[in-house]
A and B are shown apart, each in its own frame.
Chain A
Amino acid sequence: MFSASDLKKGLKIQIDGAPWVITEFEFCKPGKGTALYRCRMKNMITGIGMEKTYRPTDKIDEPDIEEREMYYSYFDGNSYIFSDPNTFEEMSVAADVLGNKTYFLIEESLCNFVLFNGEPIDIALPTFIEKEITETEPGVRGDTATNVMKPAKIDNGYELQVPLFINQGDIIKIDTRTGAYAERVSKA
């Protein structure tokens, strides 16, 4: 249990069985009145935000949150299997937890897991991965502008927007947090 005076930006709390992280915090004390703790928070699973004000006597549940590193092993046809680098204990993760990130999984790469009650709710992959462009319209020679984009695909079928000068066979960097093109690594 936390008490209201423990509240601060970044603290993770539990409300009605869901984990929330405090994104903004303010200590308030209206003239001669009681202290109040104003929090803006984000649901760690749905990403929904809300505001809540606590009183000094309030008690707040502490969520069972664990952060650990796991590396990606393989896809078993249904789930994505990750392994603990020390104990080799395996954990299987359903595709919907990963969303778009399934396109960016690379075997043996270390990922940061956030577990709530032992279940993964957020998985951070290495920020940048390198992929080959397998399909795109031919590049426009000499056009180095990065603000005009065209569609392209990588080997696993993931489609993204890339600058006009990118060609089939080029290796690019993708930001796994957004799924967006970051930069060209090498030409075909």
Chain B
Amino acid sequence: MADKLQNLALRSAFLRAVRDFFYSAGFLEVETKVRIAAPAPEEYIEAVPSGEQFLRTSPELEMKCLLADGMQKIFQIGSCFRLGEFGRKHREEFTMLEFYAAKWDYLTLANFTASLVMETAQKLFGTTKVNFWGKSYDLGRATFITVDDAFKRYAGVSAFQADADGTFDERMVTKVEPELGKEGLTFLMDYPANRASLSKISEVDPRVARRWELYLGGVELANAFGELTDAAEQKERFQKSAAFRASQNMARYPEPEAFFAALDKGLPESSGCALGIDRLVMILCNADNIGDVRA
């Protein structure tokens, strides 16, 4: 119990430091609906039903509506819900930090996110060095590796090959992830194009998407996109994943009408990131389990 209260005190200090960081960088804090009509139809994310509606799995679509309305730099900290996700690093209800900046590309966003982690840790501890699950890390260090390079190096196969033969997720979990973020932050860049999700395809190499994930100590902390702004392409991707969900007998969600309207109005060139607050606090507290840092 004493440990948990200590963790919650550190969590509070961390959240305050996060808010300070965003306010200093000119971001506005927003709160979008937690109970929504239509979650994004993602292949492997299940929403918790709430009456005729759903609890949000992420605030992404609602925050993108604010971008289309003209907001430039926004962030939100709040609960999200994903059915059936439970483990040492998972809870069905968890706290997401989500932020978007118009005009930024995904590399600018990566550098900003590295600064966020480094500066908040420095503020809390007076150092960027932390111990987590028996190893030490420097949150002031950041390295970048592409998904394809990481697969070739750690799984002995190209990421495109793994994606094509259906072994991508398994190799990612068993071979690649454990090698990521061994000394500090690792940004895993440029996912194969058909794992683009809501990110845009690279102008330089159409085989990959402008998407990265952030790792520390093999733990995934954040996912980010150079946002797809093309309305037709985004609708087509949603149709494709909705069809996949139907083929797997997964829950059907209504069309996200407000988000489609925002796309039609015009989403600005922008980048956005979703960071798991509980995961990062678990690392900062060196907690054994994500449940130890949640009230």
User: In whole angstroms, how far apart are the Cα atoms of A53 and B178 in the complex?
Assistant: 15
B70: Cβ under 8 A from any A Cβ: no
Q: CB distance B86 to A36 under 8 Å?
A: no
Q: CB distance A27 to B170 under 8 Å?
A: no
Chain B residues near A53 (CB-CB < 8 A): 170, 173-174
Chain B residues near A30 (CB-CB < 8 A): 169, 172-173, 177, 220
B179: Cβ under 8 A from any A Cβ: no
B223: Cβ under 8 A from any A Cβ: yes
Query: Nearest residue in A to B82 (C-beta to C-beta)?
Result: A29
A28, A36, A55 interface centre (most CB from chain B within 10 Å): A28
Q: CB distance A27 to B173 under 8 Å?
A: no
Cβ contact of B169, chosen from A26, A33, A51, cutoff 8 A: A33
Q: CB distance B90 to A36 under 8 Å?
A: no
Chain B residues near A147 (CB-CB < 8 A): none
Chain B residues near A35 (CB-CB < 8 A): 44, 84-85
Chain A residues near B88 (CB-CB < 8 A): 26-27
Chain A residues numbered 1-54 whose CB sits less than 8 Å from any CB in chain B: 5, 26-36, 38, 51, 53
A30, A31, A32 interface centre (most CB from chain B within 10 Å): A31
Query: Nearest residue in B to A33 (C-beta to C-beta)?
Result: B169
Categorize the interface residue count of chain B: 20 to 34
Chain A residues near B170 (CB-CB < 8 A): 36, 53, 55
What's the minimum C-beta distance from A34 to chain B, rounded to whole angstroms?
5
Number of contacting residues on A, CB 8 A?
16
Chain A residues near B44 (CB-CB < 8 A): 29, 32-35
User: In whole angstroms, how far apart are the Cα atoms of A38 and B218 in the complex?
Assistant: 15
Q: A32-B223, A35-B44 in contact; A27/B85 too (CB < 8 A)?
A: yes
User: In whole angstroms, how far apart are the Cα atoms of A5 and B85 in the complex?
Assistant: 10
What's the minimum C-beta distance from A29 to chain B, rounded to whole angstroms?
6
Q: CB distance A31 to B220 under 8 Å?
A: yes
- Mask, B85-96, CB within 8 Å of A = 1, is 111111000000
User: In whole angstroms, how far apart are the Cα atoms of A30 and B197 in the complex?
Assistant: 13
Q: CB distance A31 to B213 under 8 Å?
A: yes
Chain B residues near A55 (CB-CB < 8 A): 170
User: In whole angstroms, how far apart are the Cα atoms of A30 and B168 in the complex?
Assistant: 10
Cβ contact of A27, chosen from B45, B86, B169, B174, cutoff 8 A: B86
User: In whole angstroms, how far apart are the Cα atoms of A27 and B86 in the complex?
Assistant: 7
Q: CB distance B220 to A33 under 8 Å?
A: no
Q: CB distance B173 to A38 under 8 Å?
A: yes
User: In whole angstroms, how far apart are the Cα atoms of A178 and B34 in the complex?
Assistant: 57
User: In whole angstroms, how far apart are the Cα atoms of A5 and B86 in the complex?
Assistant: 10
What's the minimum C-beta distance from A156 to chain B, rounded to whole angstroms?
46
Chain B residues near A29 (CB-CB < 8 A): 44, 85, 90
User: In whole angstroms, how far apart are the Cα atoms of A140 and B86 in the complex?
Assistant: 59
3 closest pairs, A vs B, by CB? A27-B87, A33-B169, A30-B172
